[in-house]
């Protein structure tokens, strides 16, 4: 398994949300990380740490 950045999964939407800081080429990085998740899952990236943790709390409510 790749060294994944902070992330959480929203099961009902089949979505993986990553927190990746600025400066990284996210398209390439995300395509590599998504190989570790079931086919059909989509991804999104959040750069703001505060927003990421707030969304993670609400993610699977």
Domain ranges of the chain: 7-58
Find out whether 22 and 29 touch, Cβ atoms under 8 Å.
no
C-alpha distances out from residue 8 to 37, 60, Å: 12, 10
The position carrying tokens 């990236």 is 45
Global confidence as pTM: 0.83
Which run of H or of E encompasses 51?
helix 49-58
pLDDT single digits (tens) 2-53: 588 899 999 999 999 999 887 667 888 888 889 989 999 999 999 999 999 9
Question: Rounded distance, CA 33 to CA 43, Å?
Answer: 10
């Amino acid at each position: 398994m790749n060294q994944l950045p902070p992330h959480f999964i929203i099961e009902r939407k089949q979505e993986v949300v990553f927190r990746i800081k600025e400066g990284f080429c996210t398209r390439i990085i995300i395509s590599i990380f998504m190989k570790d998740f079931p086919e059909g899952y989509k991804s999104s990236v959040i750069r703001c740490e505060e927003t990421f943790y707030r969304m993670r709390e609400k993610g699977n409510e």
